[in-house]
Structure 1
Amino acid sequence: MNRRVGSWLRTLGGLGILALLVRQLGSAAFLDGLRRIDAGTLLAGLGIGVLTTVCSAWRWCLVARGLGLRLPLGRAVADYYRALFLNAALPGGVLGDVHRAVRHGRDAGDLGRGVQAVVLERTAGQVVLLAVGAVVLAVRPSPALAPVGRAVGAPGALLAVAGAGVLGVAAAVLLRRRRRGGSGGRDGRAAPSEARQALLGRAVWPGVTLASAVVLAGYLGMFLLAARVAGARAPTAELVPLVVLALLAMAVPLNVGGWGPREGVAAWAFGAAGLGASLGLTTAVVYGVLAFAASLPGAGVLVVRWAGRPLRSGRRPQIQLEERVLAEQGPPQRRA
């Protein structure tokens, strides 16, 4: 019941942000973003999505293997596409990840490690985003953070951003340990060592870092593409800090299929930079459409697996019956 209430609150929070944006900026920014998207833009977004999804799935494979779980890359790519589509199509923005975590854990025979692999895989991406974001904002501060910088100083602002990320990761680890301790599973004290092995093992961390960097570069590229499609003419160096802030906002769990904080922060950041809040909102809308288009292969994965399920479920009883008959009658040569 608590999880259901929390899901509704997150959804209502995302809808509230979108409603506030429509009230302040009107619906023209949303409609303008939709009108500016053409077939070439969608194909570009789909291509970037292939790169980011394959690298994300590879990162998941590395983390799973670090935990001792088998996960082939081909299956990981298909499951990741399905999760992305469910995240984009369903409220909350995380149900697809929950589904792939539970399914992989059950198939591997260890639900706890299956869930942990997904949590750590997503955490690795967030840590790289925070690290790169801190560097970008330190090298080229965004005008949107000027009030914070004047209040606590530029180093203090960066420490606040980094501290928020560290607290989020720490809270997730503590929550994970409490759940494991209260569910009768493996000793919760083993979780930190397993996490270190899964992320910082000698054979794991170089690949995880490389995959996370490529994924982040893909997200940045897609957001910059969305900004150009929306009509932004500012130099790329001026747009990158604004894009980083919008990407950081996507980690806020108040969204409807990923929509909400991203649009709000983009409108605020672009407005503070003098580019116009409407342009920021239009950019975020274009990005949201491109991200959804990039997840559409996941719908194909759902259809293919749904269509194959009746065939497998129908053949399994027949196979079991044949095996039982052969076991009762013995090998053919013995009957002869």
Structure 2
Amino acid sequence: MKRSHKALLRGLIGLALLGAVLALANPARVWAQLRQADPVWLVAGLLAAIASNIVSALRWRALARWLGADMAARDAGRWYFQAIGLNALLPGAVVGGDVYRAVVLKRAGQDTLASTWSVVLDRVSGLWMLCAIGGLGAAACAPQLAPVLRLPPSAFIALMLVGTALWLALPLALPWLLRRGSIRWLAPLKAAIERPNFLSQLGWQALASAAVQVLSAAALAAGGLALGVHIPPAAWAFAIAPVFLMAALPASVGGWGTREAAAVAALAPFGVPAAAAVGTGVIYGLYQLVQGALGALAFGLPGRMSRE
């Protein structure tokens, strides 16, 4: 199948899923929810979403510099928001924007492998902390979530806490794993982990990724609050994992359809009606579109390295 046909198929799958979710939730009810959205909470959510991506851009810059690919903070922010614009418009969720970031960093004169690994590890760092926060949120919401798996709340809490602890410890095994291989494309990683600042860099990545996910959860929660969805903060901490992971799947355009379906499933245990859950997902998707528009406006603006 040609690449263009695959892109079209992904777009159609996402639209079909979004249509199915809207039909389930009743389009009239979803529209009624969106029309009554509180503008104060909408603006607060957008600001939180923008702040999240600013921190993401700075995290990517720090990771790239650690790997040997330098860039200015202004360029990191500009390229990151341009990538958000591509993610919002192209089929394949986050793939298009990630490829763009790697390519533009290479074209700025940086090492190809270091540029590529900076983007890969930046994405992995975000997913790593996303799942960890989701696990802690799930443990805090054991009374609502344990019955779904037919587990006693105490067993569910223990499972989530142990699993999250092991998950958070995974990066500590990276030096041992890399020393066992001699593959050329792993060279930037092997060189970086031999530096004495490996643990401090890991700590910075953990803090930055935690800030990104907390701000993202705040954006999602603000979208829900704009629609009158009132659930505990721990519920939002849990919900971001399935919602954002589904939105990142390369099976739609900009996460539309997969994000809303995940929102319905993740918020249902907390008594959130389907229409409000779909509306919350739609609002978060609109936040991405707005930021994508900001990224589109940034295209063509000269950065420091491109001028040089």
Same fold (TM > 0.5): yes
Aligned residues of 1:49 and 1:295 also touching (Cα < 8 A): no
Aligned residues of 1:108 and 1:114 also touching (Cα < 8 A): no
Cα distance in 2 for residues equivalent to 1:159 and 1:12: 39
- Structure 1 or 2, whichever has the larger Rg, is 1
Cα deviation 1:50-92 (Å, max 9, x = unaligned) = 3212211111111111111111111101111111122112222
The equivalent of 1:154 in structure 2 is: 156
Distance 1:3 1:194, change over 3 A: farther
> Which residue, 293, 297, 303 being the options, matches 1:296?
293
> Which residue, 198, 207, 210 being the options, matches 1:210?
207
Aligned residues of 1:58 and 1:76 also touching (Cα < 8 A): yes
The equivalent of 1:177 in structure 2 is: none
Cα distance in 2 for residues equivalent to 1:100 and 1:294: 16
Amino acid at match of 2:262: V
Aligned residues of 1:144 and 1:268 also touching (Cα < 8 A): no
Question: Identity over the aligned pairs, expressed in percent?
Answer: 29
Aligned residues of 1:67 and 1:117 also touching (Cα < 8 A): yes
SS in 1 for 2:108: helix
Aligned residues of 2:70 and 2:110 also touching (Cα < 8 A): no
Cα distance in 2 for residues equivalent to 1:243 and 1:100: 24
Q: How many residues align?
A: 288
> Which residue, 260, 263, 281 being the options, matches 1:266?
263
Amino acid at match of 1:130: C
Cα distance in 1 for residues equivalent to 2:163 and 2:12: 25
With normalisation by structure 2, the TM-score equals 0.78
Cα distance in 1 for residues equivalent to 2:257 and 2:163: 20
Amino acid at match of 2:275: S
Aligned residues of 1:15 and 1:255 also touching (Cα < 8 A): yes
- Note if 1:21 corresponds to 2:21: yes
Deviation of 1:37 (Å): 4.5
Unaligned runs of 5+ in 2: 172-181
Name the Cα RMSD after superposition.
3.5
Distance 1:75 1:209, change over 3 A: same
Q: How does 1:213-292 map to 2 (within 5 A)?
A: 213-292=210-289
The equivalent of 2:99 in structure 1 is: 98
Cα distance in 1 for residues equivalent to 2:33 and 2:288: 13
Of structures 1 and 2, the one scoring higher in RCO (CA 8 A, sep 6+) is 2
Cα deviation 1:225-276 (Å, max 9, x = unaligned) = 0111111133444444334432343333322212122211111222233222
Deviation of 1:23 (Å): 2.7
Aligned residues of 1:271 and 1:277 also touching (Cα < 8 A): yes
Aligned residues of 1:61 and 1:73 also touching (Cα < 8 A): yes
Distance 1:204 1:240, change over 3 A: closer
Aligned residues of 1:270 and 1:279 also touching (Cα < 8 A): no
Q: How does 1:1-336 map to 2 (within 5 A)?
A: 7-37=7-37, 40-94=40-94, 95-141=96-142, 143=144, 146-150=147-151, 154=156, 158=160, 187-190=184-187, 193=190, 196=193, 201-302=198-299, 304=301
Cα distance in 1 for residues equivalent to 2:129 and 2:69: 24
Cα deviation 1:257-310 (Å, max 9, x = unaligned) = 1212221111122223322222211111122212322443212202646xxx9x
Unaligned runs of 5+ in 1: 170-180, 313-336
Deviation of 1:118 (Å): 0.6
SS in 1 for 2:229: coil
SS in 2 for 1:108: coil
Distance 1:214 1:15, change over 3 A: same
Distance 1:237 1:206, change over 3 A: closer
Distance 1:196 1:59, change over 3 A: same
SS in 2 for 1:204: helix
With normalisation by structure 1, the TM-score equals 0.73
Q: 4+ residue runs of structure 1 moved beyond 6 angstroms?
A: 159-162
Distance 1:258 1:50, change over 3 A: same
